[in-house]
């Protein structure tokens, strides 16, 4: 499924819809270049899960945890040097638990991503405008 958005609000709204529909244990992988809207999308998912707390990219930690209708585990693995760092944080408890996992830069830890994860890719196309984003969900 491919969705095109033309504003951060639209990307947020798409995330919110997915968050409202999210099933316990669902994993979403989020790929796309820096500044493409991965965090905006995540903020939408969080809202869809009833989380009112501010959600920002985990900067000094690999994962941020939030409590909503389901727990939300927001990973940003951009700074991971070695997938073994994921062992150190006990990633399996998150990936195989009942909370919702959202993993920015998941391609960097591809071998750890369980089957059944929903892949979300966000791309720009500057020919279609500065705020245009193509979002592929599969
Ligand atoms: P990432 O987490 O992928 O690095 P962010 O979500 O932090 O990116 O930032 C995306 C930036 O792009 C924000 O400043 C946002 O306002 C802007 N933006 C412009 N158009 C869109 C759009 N259609 N969808 C999402 N973000 C957009
Ligand atoms: Mg981000």
Q: Among 6, 12, 33, 40, which residue has the most ligand 1 atoms within 8 Å of its CB, making it the best to mutate?
A: 40
> Per 3-state DSSP, what percentage of the chain is helix, strand, and coil (rounded to 5)?
35, 25, 40
Straight-line distance from the first to the last Cα atom of the chain, in angstroms, rounded to the nearest whole number: 6
- SS3 string, 4-42, reads EECCHHHHHHHHHHHHHHCCCCCEEEEECCCCCCHHHHH
List C-alpha distances in Å: 44 to 5, 10, 47, 111, 115.
13, 9, 5, 27, 24
For the question of whether the overall pTM of this predicted structure is more than 0.75, the answer is yes
Task: Please report the pLDDT score of residue 83 as a whole number.
Answer: 83
Residue 48 Cβ < 6 Å to ligand 1: no
pLDDT by residue for the chain (138 residues), tens only, comes to 999 999 999 999 999 999 999 999 999 999 999 899 999 999 999 999 999 998 887 777 899 999 999 999 999 998 888 888 999 999 999 999 999 999 998 988 999 999 999 999 999 999 999 999 999 999
Task: Please report the pLDDT score of residue 100 as a whole number.
Answer: 97
CA 104 to centroid of ligand 2, rounded, Å: 7
Task: Please report the pLDDT score of residue 58 as a whole number.
Answer: 75
CA 113 to centroid of ligand 1, rounded, Å: 24
């Amino acid at each position: 499924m491919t969705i095109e958005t033309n504003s951060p609000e639209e990307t947020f709204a798409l995330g919110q819809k997915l968050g409202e529909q999210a099933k316990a244990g669902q994993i979403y992988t989020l790929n796309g270049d820096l500044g493409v809207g991965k965090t905006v999308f995540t903020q939408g998912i969080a809202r869809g899960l009833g989380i009112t707390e501010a959600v920002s990219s985990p900067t000094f930690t690999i994962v941020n945890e939030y409590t909503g209708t389901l727990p939300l585990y927001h990973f940003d693995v951009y700074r991971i040097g070695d997938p073994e760092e994921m062992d150190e944080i006990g990633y399996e408890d998150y990936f195989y638990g009942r909370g919702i996992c959202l993993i920015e830069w998941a391609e960097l830890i591809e071998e750890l991503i369980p089957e059944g994860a929903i892949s979300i890719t966000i791309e720009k196309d500057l020919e279609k405008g500065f705020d245009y984003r193509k979002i592929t969900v599969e």
